[in-house]
Structure formats: C-alpha cells, structure tokens
Chains A and B, each alone.
Chain A
Amino acid sequence: MPKITFIEHDGTVHTVDAELGASVMETAVRNDIASIVAECGGGCTCATCHVYVDEAWVERVGPPSPDEDAELDAAFDVRANSRLSCQIKVTEALDGLIVRTPSYQGR
C-alpha cells in the first residue's frame, strides 16, 4: 500500500496508508485530516481540498487539468505547486508522496 504524508499548516505530520485508485483527498478524509475539508465530496467544485505538492513530487504528480485549474480560482494563496487533492489519484508511483495543507480552505 502506498504511503502518503500530509503536513498540516501547524506542522502536524500524518503518514498514512493510501488505497490504490482512491484520491489523495479521500485518503485524507478517511484518516481524519481535518485541514482537508472536501465540502463537495470530490466533485472538483468547491476548492476546499487544496494542497501544496512537495517540490520533489511536483513532476511526478503533474499539473492540474484545465477544469481543476479553473476551480483553483476558488482557493486561496494558490501557488505553482497547488493542486486539489480530490483530483490526484493514488498510484504505486506516488508511494511516499508528501503534500502540505494550506492554513485556510475557505471556511
């Protein structure tokens, strides 16, 4: 099972098992990582599962799709490594992925 590390804004680190094929957002929600709100439940319509992909992983994770990039308009403090975690699918290649959560998801 791939492992994903979430580093919350306050520095809290969670390293959790992720199910292949699930999204990074689902992985966070199943593990009670509160800074991933995921109001719309994975529909790419609320921008409350915003994460910053660790620089070392940006290339492997890849850029957002045009739809996701558009939805990032509703997020705050958007950076070059910003993604919506509901749109990142867990694969073997992402074993060890590190993402950071922003201080504010809009609510």
Chain B
Amino acid sequence: MSDAIKTDVLIIGAGPCGLFAVFELGLLDIKAHLVDILDKVGGQCAELYPEKPIYDIPGIPEITGQGLSESLMQQIKPFNPTFHLGEMVTGIENIGDPLYRVTTTAGKTFECKAVIIAAGGGSFQPKRPPIAGIEPYEDKSVHYAVRKMENFRGKNIVIVGGGDSALDWTLNLQPIAKRLTLVHRRDDFRGAPDSVNKMRALVASGAMDLKIGQVTELEGADGQLTAASIKDKDGKIDRVACDAMLPFFGLTMKLGPISDWKLDMDEELIKVDVSTFETNRQGIFAIGDINTYPGKLKLILSGFHEGALCAQRVHHYVYPEKRLVFQYTTSSTSLQKKLGVA
C-alpha cells in the first residue's frame, strides 16, 4: 500500500458536522481529509434543504442550508482540508495502535490515526423503484448510475425520471443507443429547461421516444432485461423492448457499509462515549446525527459540540507526546496565527 494517502484524520461525511470538525481539529494542528458520497459538500443541508431556512444555529437567527455550508467552508478555509467527493468509504481496517487503513469506492486508500464518522443519516443512495422482481436485473441491466457510457452503446435503453439526471443521461446516451425511450409520469420536467428543450427536439425529430407513464413490470431472464411495461394515467399498458433501464428517482439515506465496521450500534445509530464521542473502537469517533447516547438531540449545534470534544481526544492519538493546552480564539495568538488573523 505505498500509494495510500497519509493524513491525521479521515472524516466520513462532509455535512455541517464533518465540516466544523475540520475547524476544531485544525485549531489543534490536526490535518483532515473528508470523503462524501455526494458530489458536493453540505450533506443534508445541501441535498435536502439548500433553500430552507434554519433557525437554531447559535448566534445566527436565520440561515439556509446552502448558506450554512458556504459559511462553514469559509470558516475552515485556513485549514485547507482535502475533499474526496462522489465516493463512499467501504472498509476500515485497524493496522496500528491506533492506525487505520480506510478504502473508498473510488479505489483510494487512506492511512490515518483516527476516523471521524460524521455520516448523518447514512449515505445518500439512489431510490430503487418498487417494481416486482427488479432485484435480479439490478447491476446487470438495471443501473442507477452510468459508470461507462460504452456499456450502453447499441442498446435499447429506457431511462425513467424527469429531473436533471434523467435528462442529462438521455442527452448523453441517445447518440450511442440503438433506441432510447424516456419514461416520465407527467409531460412536464423539472430538469434544466435547456435540457428539456434538447430532449423535446430529439423526440420531435424522431431520434428518440418519450412515453408518459410509470414502469409497472419488467420482462427478461437471468438478469437480462428484454422489455418494460409502462402504464399511462388511464391504465393503458405500453410494452417497450429494452436491454437496459436507468431509473432516476432521486436519493435516499441508507446506513450502508457502516454496519459492517464492528461498532456498537443501537439500531442504525452508533453508540459513543459522551466525553470523547469515541466509539467502542479506539480511534474511531462518531459525531452528529449518526451517533446516539443518553439525551442525544439530532441538532446541528449538538454535532458542532461533539466535533469540538472529539478533537481533544483525537489530539491524544495524533500527538501522544504533546500536552494539550486549552485556548480561546479571542485571546490566543497561536490560534489566531492558525486562522491567519494574527
């Protein structure tokens, strides 16, 4: 593993708690990398309520999810964290005392002295449509993401959905598909207007098909799809021959691989020690919505507090020889230097 990325701490999740942990760690000279399955920072604040005001951040009467993410990014800028977006942590292996080797879906490996799990409600993953018997087709001919466009060349493709993912892949795959059919429940699209116009032009020229309805049934064998049935709003069924289907119904939160990490859990939450926010595994911490302890409140402000406390314990692992002196940003020249203000 000579190509492992070495860092003090790996933070799993770049939501508000993961971002603020960078600040608290940074004040203690601890460097962090962050991994997030979304292609942007902010977690639920960015994915679920970017424009919704939040009223319970101390000292900030009102801020949107997006605004909070942006403010936190500005606040942690002096510490120059490295982000690894669009990937998910798959495995954590203990290789030292404590020293962890962490792997991601993008094939990266990290070596770090501590891991902070700030994964909120879990990882955002594509919603799976409740079509009876869909499971055997998944990852064979039903895909929730396009990894290699070439795999779709010359195929009859059905894309389902009305947002940007559905429209973008429609426009990208149409030129290489044998025939592409876009299926959407209504004749109105929430994707970017420019994409909608381009799609409509392709339909008008006969280069692709648009069907208004919902997929109700799949046909095929051994994981290979041969047709999909589409029901319109009057209940009429239309059968479309296809080799591949791409459903895009947005994302939902799933715990994901965390359940395999030998952590003490209470249902889908990670149990922690309330003085350090360390889990049962030394050097692995959990902060924010993903953890649980007596009296836990799923508030962003609680996650901030948890980040500050866990940083103190992380310091012990990163600098075992150094004594930690508590300091205030208002008065400590050393902290102010780190923040670039002194």
* A residues lining the B interface (CB < 8 Å): 39-41, 43, 45-48, 69-70, 72-78, 80, 103-104, 106-107
Contact = CB atoms under 8 A, between A and B. Distances in A.
Interface of B: 44, 47-49, 52, 121, 127-130, 161-163, 184-186, 188, 190, 214, 233, 249-250, 252-254
B188 A46 contact: no
Given A43-B48, A73-B162, A76-B214, 12 more contacts: A39-B48, A39-B121, A40-B49, A43-B49, A45-B52, A46-B48, A70-B162, A70-B190, A73-B249, A76-B127, A78-B185, A103-B130
Contacts of A78: 185, 214
A interface: dominant SS: loop
Contact of A73 (B47, B128, B129, B161): B161
Contacts of B252: 39, 46, 48, 106-107
Contacts of A69: 186, 188
Contacts, number: 62
Nearest 9 pairs between A and B by C-beta? A74-B250, A70-B190, A40-B48, A106-B127, A104-B130, A107-B252, A43-B49, A73-B162, A43-B52
B297 to A, nearest CB: 14
Contacts of A73: 161-163, 184-186, 190, 249-250
Contact of B254 (A77, A103, A107): A107
A39 B190 CA distance: 20
Contacts of B184: 73
9 contacts: A45-B47, A46-B250, A69-B186, A70-B188, A73-B249, A76-B129, A76-B130, A77-B130, A107-B127
B129 A80 contact: no
A76 B163 CA distance: 15
A72 B190 CA distance: 11
A92 B236 CA distance: 39
Contacts of A48: 252
Contacts of B48: 39-41, 43, 45-46
A76 B214 CA distance: 8
A104 to B, nearest CB: 4
A92 to B, nearest CB: 27
A92 B205 CA distance: 52
Nearest to A105: B252
Contacts of A45: 47-49, 52
Contacts of B52: 43, 45
A75 B129 CA distance: 9
Among A41, A47, A77, residue most surrounded by chain B Cβ atoms (within 10 Å): A77
Contacts of A104: 130
A46 B185 CA distance: 17
B49 A74 contact: no
Contact of A41 (B49, B130, B190): B49
Contacts of B185: 72-73, 78
A81 to B, nearest CB: 12
A107 B130 CA distance: 10
Nearest to A102: B130
Contacts of B128: 106
A72 B214 CA distance: 12
A107 B48 CA distance: 15
Contacts of A39: 48, 121, 252-253
Contacts of A76: 127, 129-130, 214, 249
B199 to A, nearest CB: 15
B253 A107 contact: yes
A72 B163 CA distance: 11
